[in-house]
Amino acid sequence: MRTLGGRYELEQRVGVGGMSEVWRAHDLVLDRTVAVKLISPGQEGEDTSVERIRAEARSAARLVHPNVASVHDFGTSIAADGGEVPYIVMELAEGETLAAHLRDGALDWRIATRVCAEVSAALAAAHAHGIVHRDVKPANVILTPAGVKVLDFGIATPAGAPDHTPEGMVVGTPAYLAPEQIDRQPATPAADMYALGVLLYYCLTGRLPYTAGSATQLLGARRRQPPRPLPEIDGLPPEIADLCRRCLAEDPAVRPTSLMAALLLAEVVDARVYVPMLAAMPRPRSAPVSPWTDRAAAEATEAMAVPAAEGARS
């Protein structure tokens, strides 16, 4: 069994991406289960240097929030060719991804709203630290018994930083990229809000606001036509539909802030989320059941009253 840094014993590979793989591991020093993200070494000239990954890990480690999967450590291991392979040690969020839940179709609008409220709260914490996630999507959202965890700040960047990726490449998932990201403009919090709009649309409808059969077609279609408006959804409050529309605006200045979105979405389902300006809110009661099981909508809404603030203070 492979051990990194004499401390992290890799047990099972749980995910593979374009430039990384994630392992369930055991921290031998603190005797706890963690997630270890191994970053694949890039080609000469690509922006995958050890120092860049170290800087990203440090940025992500500043985020202490109940809806953010915490970063615990950073290190390097030696590859077969003698090169350095950076790795990031993170909190292992137990639960299913939002992508897995969406395979069965759209969520009840109240659950969709609560999920996106907590994602917005996580983004508000990041944006308050000047960090842009750049890859908000269902696969990076875990639904745990205590609520949402947003994963993978591994390509997070300081707001306004220039794009140093090789020409012809874009960072992020095509369906969730803001128009300005496709044009390789510096990432800002507004780009994350566009992705939130796509995420909210997908949760409410079970499909993307675009029609395309491949990533190439998707990027082409997005340059030619605006996102489709939300269809009629029984019981959906108009302010949710309006928020989704504004998040998907082509002009970044029209999109709401993450803080505004978190508060609005939480208010609609009578939930509380942990955001920087509300850190001193009174401690409410917690619900004893998971908010993500299938049950009647009324029961789901009551279960979703598990506040993120509770986890922040425990």
Model pLDDT, residue 150: 95
**Which entry of 73, 108, 135, 152 is annotated as an active-site residue?**
135
Q: How far is CA 167 from CA 18, 64, 185, 191, 271, in A?
A: 17, 34, 13, 20, 44
135 given a catalytic annotation: yes
What pLDDT digit, counting tens, does each position of 220-254 carry? Answer: 666 667 889 999 999 999 999 999 999 999 999 99
Model pLDDT, residue 289: 35
Model pLDDT, residue 272: 87
* pTM recorded for the entire structure: 0.80
Cβ within 8 Å of residue 146, ≥6 positions away: 66, 306, 311
The residue assigned the tokens 């874009």 is 170
Q: Name the DSSP class of 11.
A: E
Mark the ranges of the chain whose per-residue pLDDT is less than 70.
18, 41-48, 154-172, 212-224, 276-314
Q: How far is CA 96 from CA 18, 89, 112, 134, in A?
A: 21, 20, 15, 21
* Alpha-carbon gap, residue 199 to 129, rounded angstroms: 23
The residue assigned the tokens 């794009």 is 163
First to last CA, the chain: 35
Q: Pull the structure tokens for residue 201.
A: 């649309």
Contact 92, 33 (CB under 8 A): yes
- Which candidate, 314, 291, 299, places its Cα nearest to that of 114? 291
Could you tell me the domains of the chain? 3-91 (3.30.200.20), 96-313 (1.10.510.10)
What pLDDT digit, counting tens, does each position of 250-260 carry? Answer: 999 999 999 99
Contact 70, 64 (CB under 8 A): yes
Q: How many CB atoms lie within 10 A of CB 277?
A: 10
Q: Pull the structure tokens for residue 7.
A: 């401390």
Model pLDDT, residue 182: 82
| Mutual angle of helices 258-268 and 189-205, in 10-degree steps | 30
